[in-house]
Structure 1
Amino acid sequence: HPRTNVPCLKSLHEDSSEQSTEYWVNKAQNILAEKLKQTSRRNTNRAKNIILFLGDGMSVQTTTATRAFLGDSSEQVYFDRFPYTGLSKTYAVDKRVPDSASTATAYLSGVKGNYGTIGVNAQVPKYDCDLAADPSTHTESIAKWAQDAGKWTGLVTTARVTHASPAGVYAHTAQRGWEYDAAIEKDGCSATKNVDIARQLVEWPVGKGLRVIMGGGRRNFIDESYSDEEEAEGRRTDGRNLIEEWLEDKREQCVRAKYVWNKEGLNNVDFSDTEYLLGLFASSHCPYHGDLERKNLTDSVPSLSEMTQAAIELLSQSEEGYFLFVEGARIDMAHHVTRAHLSLEETAEFARAVELARNLTSGEDTLIVVTADHSHTMTFNGYPTRGSDIFGLAPANADDDLPYTILSYANGPGFSKTYSSKNGRKDLSDADLDDPSYKYMATVPLES
């Protein structure tokens, strides 16, 4: 049983075919034969459409653990099937460990910047009140290149649409947290000279040119004196309602635009009669995917897959093609709080969105790239059997004769679940590892 510390005599996943030499030889030959076919029928077409999927914080360990979560099949995490795999270096200019802001600049514009900055080169340090306002420091994202080529563009995220990764599509700022005007003022800078990220999305050329914007973050678009459709207060202090301003801008351009704030509204959109779509489905970030069902939110908040499908339906109307950015943001957020179960659920949904996109498009004219921006400190421990519950305990106790979890973190808030101030490491025998919000073991105490 995965919750016991007695090693299993047989794997719960035991497959008799895997015990033969012929199984592995034949499997290898089949893989080689398929690779040779891919070489002989190499697609030399120029991509009309590009979809960039970004699993935020989706480390190699995360995808491997998700494979175990889904049943331990090499076919289970859909993008494992893709024909080409590579690695990229995502350090920031000033940090060995980067964040989602500096990495967004790197993979969307090809230029490395400083930690915490978005869409600017390394001349701009974080929190600088002046340099980020200088256009000479701005980098150009692939979204701008696509728009310059006459293509439609869009972004989908489970974070706030003004959060670090999606902001890399359209924004230029010295501080990723400057999502609304008051945040700039709190850091001692001018909200007039430094335009906040929400305003850049609505006012600046690349943001205004996005045909699809979907995710969370309503609070950054409305004043603190307003409440949104779900009675959540805004964060702005300039008296503005940027959602209304976005709609007014589209009316002035005489284009067909829709704003929706829940799943019902998204389902009612007539994509054949819509040229621009703004969907803000939460005051802050969208809920965790697993919580959509656990908290009965499936009728009110669309999933990442559902948002991705809607985006493709709208953008596919472009005769010149499109660029779409899709972020599974909460893979990262769950890792930050050492909630491995939530993170793997997010990764599984992210993989489903990739599969849906591949099924809705053609490999002849649509390039799909799946990547991550950075890793996390989650790792595997012990020697669990193939059939072990990935969220459970390792098959044998540690040298202190106490059990430990198969998954753990090098740092984070899970430290409180791991150590007692008086007695050293805690006994996890009775830990509720079936709880999706359980914080997994961490060695070093950090808030995140």
Structure 2
Amino acid sequence: MRYEVENEVANVADVNYWKDRVSVEQKLWYDKGIEEVNMALKEPSTENTVKNVRIFVIEGIGYEELAANRFPLNINNSKENTNFVWDQFSHVARLKMNCIIPCPKNWIHQALWTGVPLDVLQMMNTNCSSQAKDGHLLSLLRQAQLAGLRTGFVTNQRLTGPTGAALYGKHASNLSNECEKQSSNETLCNDDIATQLIFGETGKHLNVIMGGGRQMFNHEVPVTNSDPIDDNLCRASYERNLLKNWRLQKLRQVEDQTRQRFELIQHFGELEAINGSKYDYLMAVLSNGDLNRNLKVSSFQLMLKKTLQVLNRSNAGYLLIVEQFVHAEMNKREQLQMLNETLTDLPRDKHTLNLVLFTSIERTLNGFLPSDSLVFVQGPKSSIFLGVRDVNYLAQAVTYALKN
């Protein structure tokens, strides 16, 4: 398409295309396109300081399904096209998966959150003696904590799943780490993920931890029709009460550090009632199994609202990681619309970097097969997310963005 320029112009919208070569209908869409180009040129610089980072991981929706659900069921009605908020973000990158063969799901999450490539993780010696000698990988959460940021992890799954294992587990090479060790002879690096969350350095310093999986933390749990025991998951052993351990741990911290307030809740009614801004630490374990299988689960918007109340402080930034798992039987169009509403309602400021990652990991007979993922980015330093990158690039790029 050629454009006519008679004078020097300061605004691209002042430049007209050859009207005698363009139909009325085509001119309508080119006018709209020129408006979008002009808006893009007015985008503020992405070189502001990054104070906060919010990462939303939507697992179960790949880029093909994401594209398909942008359109209405009635394709003849173009007015119903869905304009998702992340489609308006300034930058997008594709994260490629380098699994030569189907690989364990937790390796994929480790690559995502530690910055170590998948092929390197596949070759690493993951036995316990090697862990004790070389130390464990620091996740993005732990790196943020060491840099002085407040941190939070929110999931609609269980807190001990593959994402949790990669974020605060010392040794997440085996998914059986969700279950308690069977022998007292087993070493500390084989502690189950729930134990590592409560007693590990990353878990102890999390300001917000919110999700499901109560039956992995406590032996005695409330059981209702809407929140049954999940027989497909591990159960805590007799007399185990890690939630009590978390509370006792925080009580000791309060004695050492004055004005530290904390709260442990196990029901959505309690979550609705609290004012998160009054607390330094909040742990919410809201179902026995995966949170999204609890029939009385409240809105994800409420969970995020309370989380941000805890994390927001004028004297410190934060890193928040949010996991939303979309099961195959769910209506993915509805899930995307609800996510769109949630993200649209989030407070925005020029110092917050927002990332929305869509990923799909399918189970095969030999393991898990990941597809490439898309990450949409908006905010300061968003320009570093561009092109096709390895999956471990996400952790590396966020770490760079936070080094102000």
Q: TM-score, normalised by structure 1?
A: 0.65
**CA 1:272–1:70 in structure 2 vs 1: closer, same or farther (change >3 Å)?**
farther
Q: Find the counterpart in structure 2 of residue 47 from structure 1.
A: 50
SS across alignment from 1:253: helix
1:344-363 equivalent positions in 2, closer than 5 A: 344-357=333-346, 360-362=347-349
**CA 1:306–1:22 in structure 2 vs 1: closer, same or farther (change >3 Å)?**
same
* Higher helix residue share: 2
The alignment status of 1:148 with 2:146, answered yes or no, reads yes
- Structure 1 residues without counterparts, runs of 5 or longer: 1-17, 378-410, 412-448
Q: Find the counterpart in structure 2 of residue 174 from structure 1.
A: 173
**CA 1:110–1:285 in structure 2 vs 1: closer, same or farther (change >3 Å)?**
same
The alignment status of 1:371 with 2:357, answered yes or no, reads yes
Does structure 2 retain, via aligned residues, the 8 Å contact 1:143–1:169? yes
Q: Find the counterpart in structure 2 of residue 396 from structure 1.
A: none
SS across alignment from 1:52: strand
SS across alignment from 2:292: coil
Q: Find the counterpart in structure 2 of residue 269 from structure 1.
A: 274
Q: Find the counterpart in structure 2 of residue 402 from structure 1.
A: none
**CA 1:353–1:194 in structure 2 vs 1: closer, same or farther (change >3 Å)?**
same
SS across alignment from 1:323: strand
CA distance in 1, matches of 2:46, 2:189: 47
**CA 1:166–1:65 in structure 2 vs 1: closer, same or farther (change >3 Å)?**
farther
Does structure 1 retain, via aligned residues, the 8 Å contact 2:63–2:358? no
1:247 Cα offset (Å): 0.7
**CA 1:104–1:353 in structure 2 vs 1: closer, same or farther (change >3 Å)?**
farther
Q: Find the counterpart in structure 2 of residue 11 from structure 1.
A: none
1:27 Cα offset (Å): 2.3
How many residues get paired? Answer: 326
Q: Find the counterpart in structure 2 of residue 159 from structure 1.
A: 157
**CA 1:318–1:284 in structure 2 vs 1: closer, same or farther (change >3 Å)?**
farther
**CA 1:56–1:137 in structure 2 vs 1: closer, same or farther (change >3 Å)?**
farther
1:372 Cα offset (Å): 2.7
* Higher strand residue share: 2
The alignment status of 1:222 with 2:218, answered yes or no, reads yes
**CA 1:164–1:356 in structure 2 vs 1: closer, same or farther (change >3 Å)?**
farther
1:158-307 equivalent positions in 2, closer than 5 A: 158-172=156-170, 173-181=172-180, 184-185=181-182, 190=186, 192-223=188-219, 226-228=220-222, 230=224, 235-237=235-237, 239-254=239-254, 255-287=260-292, 297=296, 301-307=297-303
- Structure 2 residues without counterparts, runs of 5 or longer: 1-22, 255-259, 364-368, 370-404
**CA 1:375–1:354 in structure 2 vs 1: closer, same or farther (change >3 Å)?**
farther
Which deviates more, 133-142 or 253-262?
A: 133-142
**CA 1:74–1:368 in structure 2 vs 1: closer, same or farther (change >3 Å)?**
farther
Which deviates more, 135-144 or 68-77?
A: 68-77
Q: Find the counterpart in structure 2 of residue 33 from structure 1.
A: 38
1:351 Cα offset (Å): 2.9
CA distance in 2, matches of 1:219, 1:239: 12
Q: Find the counterpart in structure 1 of residue 106 from structure 2.
A: 101
Q: Structure 1: which amino acid aligns with 2:237?
A: T
**CA 1:354–1:103 in structure 2 vs 1: closer, same or farther (change >3 Å)?**
farther
Q: Structure 1: which amino acid aligns with 2:300?
A: L
The alignment status of 1:78 with 2:81, answered yes or no, reads no
Q: Please tell me the root mean square deviation across aligned C-alpha atoms, in Å.
A: 3.1
CA distance in 2, matches of 1:153, 1:69: 38
1:58 Cα offset (Å): 2.2
CA distance in 1, matches of 2:314, 2:98: 36
Q: Structure 2: which amino acid aligns with 1:180?
A: C
1:315 Cα offset (Å): 0.3
SS across alignment from 1:45: coil
Q: Find the counterpart in structure 1 of residue 386 from structure 2.
A: none
SS across alignment from 2:94: coil
**CA 1:143–1:69 in structure 2 vs 1: closer, same or farther (change >3 Å)?**
farther
SS across alignment from 1:369: strand
Q: Structure 1: which amino acid aligns with 2:250?
A: K
Q: Structure 1: which amino acid aligns with 2:192?
A: D
**CA 1:347–1:211 in structure 2 vs 1: closer, same or farther (change >3 Å)?**
same
Q: TM-score, normalised by structure 2?
A: 0.72
**CA 1:201–1:241 in structure 2 vs 1: closer, same or farther (change >3 Å)?**
same
CA distance in 1, matches of 2:336, 2:204: 30
The alignment status of 1:342 with 2:331, answered yes or no, reads yes
Q: Find the counterpart in structure 1 of residue 65 from structure 2.
A: 62
